[in-house]
Structures are given as structure tokens and as C-alpha cells.
Amino acid sequence: MIVSGVIGSFIALVEYRISNNQSIVFPRSHCDNCGYILKWFDLIPIISYIFLLGKCRKCKFKINRSFFLIELLTIVSTTMIYIFTLNIKYIPFLFILIFLSVQDFKNKFVSLSSILLLLLSTLLISFNIKK
């Protein structure tokens, strides 16, 4: 669950930065209002959002709620796939679908590279399914 929350947080970050024409690598995670560089304990999925009441530790600027919702969606979806299939091979496919869904919902646009990534992962999963 913790790993899926971290991946959900990364999905939210990538979508946010791509939508705002920013690098997904640099700079480190920071408050968009005051520039405060987030510490490791500020980046714990779900828990840090709740602990900080959805606000920046330094300036109290409201953190975008979509980060919390995407982390929660990723954790719940991953857990449900594992419970119902007892198989983790579908989980990378799920992460790509969540990313595409968020990108489509926020921007009304899905990039070609994202669709190609989905296609590639679908092909890899379909070749690995044992009959």
C-alpha cells in the first residue's frame, strides 16, 4: 500500500508538471507559493496531507487536493486489484490508466506518448497471461 501511494504521488506530480510545462526531475518538490523545499516527511502519501491539514508547512498555502485524491485512488485501486486477482502483474497497467485518466480529466487531452505507453504495457501484459 505504501508503494502504491508513493507511485500515486508521483503520478500526480508528473501530471501536474507536464500540464504546467515543467521538468518532472528538477526542481525538487516544493510549495508553489513560497518555494519551500519539502522534506521527506512532508511527502508521505495521504498521511502528510492529513497531518498538515492540506496546507504548506511554512506559508499555510492550500495544497492542491488532487494530489491527495490521486494518491488515495491509487492505493484503493491497487489494493482492490490485488485482493480480487491475487496477482500484481496488472498493477503497472493500472498506474498508466490512472495517469491517462487524470491527464484526460484535467486537460481534456491525452498525449500520444502516454497512449503509446499504454499500448506497450497492454501488449506486455497480454503476452504474459497464461491460459
Q: Which residue has the higher pLDDT, 51 or 93?
A: 51
Q: Give CA separation, 24 vs 30, 52, 93, 130, in Å.
A: 12, 24, 21, 36
Q: Output the pTM of the full model.
A: 0.82
More confident residue, 114 or 39: 39
**Residue 24 pLDDT exceeds 70:** yes
pLDDT confidence bin for 130, thresholds 50/70/90: low
Q: Between residues 125 and 94, which one has the greater pLDDT?
A: 94
Computed over every residue of the chain, the mean pLDDT equals 88
**pLDDT of 131 above 70:** no
Mean pLDDT of 40-49: 92
* Distance of alpha carbon 66 from alpha carbon 35, whole angstroms: 19
Asked if pLDDT for residue 116 goes beyond 90, the answer is no
Taking residues 101-113, what's their average pLDDT? 87
Measured CA to CA, the distance from residue 15 to residue 107 in angstroms comes to 10
CB 13 within 8 A of CB 90: no
| The pLDDT of residue 43 is above 80 | yes
3-state SS class at 90: coil
